[in-house]
Structure 1
Amino acid sequence: MESSEYYIDLFLKYMRSERGATVNTLKAYDKDLRQFLAFLREDNLEIYSATRDNVRDFIMTLTENKYNKNSVIRKLSTLRRFYTFMVKRGFIGENPLVSLFSPKQEKILPNFLTQSEMERLIENIPLDNPLGIRDRAIVECLYSTGMRIGELVQLNVSDVRDDREILIKGKGNKERIVFLGEYALKSLKRYLKEVRPNLVRDDKEKALFLSRFGTRLTCRSIERMMEKYGIMTGKDVSPHTIRHSFATHLLENGADLRAVQELLGHSDLSTTQKYTHITLERLKEIYKKTHPRA
């Protein structure tokens, strides 16, 4: 047999080239598999010789170390994918996770801002300096389109179309079209006209949103920026909060669930349905506050 690392690398290459896994997904797979391998090697075992009992012991160790249920489920999902790949390629004869019980995932309602909080967040981003103009355009684009932060940082100038459309390459390299509202379009045009030309250092740079060094912005840079403006607004805000707010506000205002699914780029409608729980909870709150006999 080859080394355990060899099979992990082979699996990651397969997931990237044949299944279109994103960089972040591949990093998570790699981290989960190497954590399991480190656990196995405490008993001088390798990843290709793991048994069902080894996997069970691993789950128990994670639970004892206070990993939350959803993290454990995600790691189990990684192992299932990996060992399914190993069996299909003929590297091992049996999948040690076959018929192994998986705990039920906890339902965590997404964090979101109300429509007035979203307005306040945007209005608190100053427009008296170039980076503020850029940041306002970023937040407006996130809120107008509901795109993921990873999708936003990968945008090139050429992805923005003249007719208020943006071409996005999402999870699994699936392309979809999202739309820019009036406010987002106005902010983006101002950024492209007044700010980006002064940030760009290399004429060959294609990235839509640039750092002050003229390079493509990273996810972490935008996360830090969002944290800063969230503090100014008195809210805990991340790029994903904006995505959740986008979906919630559409549904609150009568959007069709399947339309929201398409805009978010969800392959499974059940992923989108979690936002209906939010709107139902808010309806309950409104009912309790306003009905005379509630």
Structure 2
Amino acid sequence: MKKAEQYVQAFKSYLQVEKHASSHTIYYYLNDVNFFLDFLQTEAIQFEQVDPGVVRVFLTQLYDRKLSRRTVSRKISSLRAFYKFLEREDVVSANPFLRLVQPKAPAYVPSFLYEQELDKLFDASDLDSPLGQRDQAILESLYGTGMRVSECAGMTLDDIDMSIGTVLVRGKGRKERYIPFGSFMEKAIRTYVEDGRRRLLEKSQENTDKLFLNSRGKPITERGIRLILNKLVEQSAVHMHLHPHKLRHTFATHMLNEGADLRAVQELLGHEHLSSTQIYTHVTKDRLRTIYMNSHPRANRE
């Protein structure tokens, strides 16, 4: 399988250089490809010899393992992309995964936070300390713009334009977009930059333009932001699991529930396809009741 490993490395370079895929995407693509190569080695089949019959045996084993339809669908997508690359490199003559029908994933409704839960989170930080000011600015940035945690960690001082209230965000595939922000985020970032960030930077004496710093004064990582959110949950005594994407879900849900245009939210989130944004078109029961009471001619109760 040495030759296969070489093509896996070439596929990785292709994803990085040509597709500008995120490290998260690359990890899962390569994990799925290597999983399939292990299966081929067990079956004594060369990766160039894979045909639809081999693929069906592979799928049978996936279902025997009780994997979810979402996981199976992802593996098919990864392997379809891998063999498309091999076909382009003239390693194989046809893509055995091309016409494979992917299992329909169950309907997914993203979880989000209610305003009462958000209020508790926003009240949790100690705004007199550098770390508390930073945590508040991170929370306001994630909820105020709907940006991804990787985009938040990558922000620089120059990306923030206070004069017009916009932030330059570098998203997936190195695509850039501008997102407007409001007074709460502006106030949090001003406080942090003028006080907290300056004090944190004194610890490292490092010349960095990254906006958010860790407790040692160095650029914060995605993992660091996740740990901060977990800490805020503990401090606020809110009983929930909070991941950065949940704030992104909340941003989109609240925007749409308040009447924002779907395509405008798509642009703000940096989604390439509208279908990715449509998962947020669910409405809360309270919002549904309000719409009904305000809209139906015979809904008014006196």
TM-score clears 0.5? yes
Residue 171 of structure 2 corresponds to: 170
1:216 aligns with 2:210: no
Gaps of 5+ in 2: none
Deviation track 1:160-195 (CA, whole Å, cap 9, x = no partner) reads 123221111111111100122101111111111111
Q: Which residue of 2 is the match for residue 279 of structure 1?
A: 283
1:198 Cα deviation from its structure 2 partner? 2.1
Deviation, 1:202, is 4.1
Q: Which moved more, 1:72-81 or 1:232-241?
A: 232-241
Cα distance in structure 2, aligned partners of 1:273 and 1:186? 31
| 2:110 match | 110
Deviation at 1:64, TM superposition (A): 2.3
Partner of 2:158, secondary structure, is helix
- Structure 2 residue aligned with 1:264: 269
| Matches of 1:217 and 1:62, distance apart in 2 | 38
Taking structure 1 as reference, are residues 168 and 81 closer, same or farther at Cα in structure 2, changes over 3 Å only? same
Cα distance, 1:245 vs structure 2: 0.5
- Structure 1 residue 280: deviation in Å? 6.4
Asked if 1:204 is matched to 2:230, the reply is no
TM-aligned CA distance change 1:196 to 1:287, over 3 Å: closer
State the shift of 1:207 in Å: 1.5
Question: What aligned pairs does 1:9-24 form with structure 2 within 5 A after superposition?
Answer: 9-24=9-24
Q: Give the deviation of 1:152 after TM superposition.
A: 0.7
- Partner of 1:31 in structure 2? 31
Cα 1:247–1:40 change in 2 (3 A) is same
Counterpart CA distance in 2 for 1:230 and 1:64 is 39
Considering only aligned residues, what root-mean-square deviation do their CA atoms show, in Å? 2.2
Instruction: Deviation per CA, 1:116-152: give whole Å up to 9, x if none.
Output: 3222221223324221111111000111110001111
Match of 2:98 in 1: 98
Which 10-residue stretch deviates more, 88-97 or 199-208?
199-208
- How is 1:128-277 mapped onto 2 (pairs within 5 angstroms)? 128-162=128-162, 163-200=164-201, 201-231=204-234, 232-276=237-281
Give the number of equivalent residue pairs. Answer: 292
Identity value in percent: 36
Preserved CA contact (<8 Å) 1:121 1:230: yes
Q: Is the 8 A contact 2:165 2:182 kept in 1?
A: yes
- Aligned counterparts of 1:31 and 1:202: Cα–Cα separation in 2: 39
Q: Retained in 2: the 8 A contact 1:142–1:239?
A: yes
The residue type equivalent to 1:266 in the other structure is H
Indicate conservation of the 8 Å contact 2:11/2:85, yes or no: yes
TM-score (norm 2): 0.89
- Checking the alignment, whether the CA contact within 8 Å between 2:233 and 2:242 is kept in structure 1 is yes
Deviation at 1:286, TM superposition (A): 5.7
Answer with 92-101 or 136-145: which moved more.
92-101
Q: Mean Cα displacement is larger for which, 40-49 or 266-275?
A: 40-49
Q: Secondary structure at the match of 1:279?
A: coil
Judge which range, 12-21 or 221-230, deviates more. Answer: 221-230
Aligned counterparts of 1:239 and 1:85: Cα–Cα separation in 2: 32
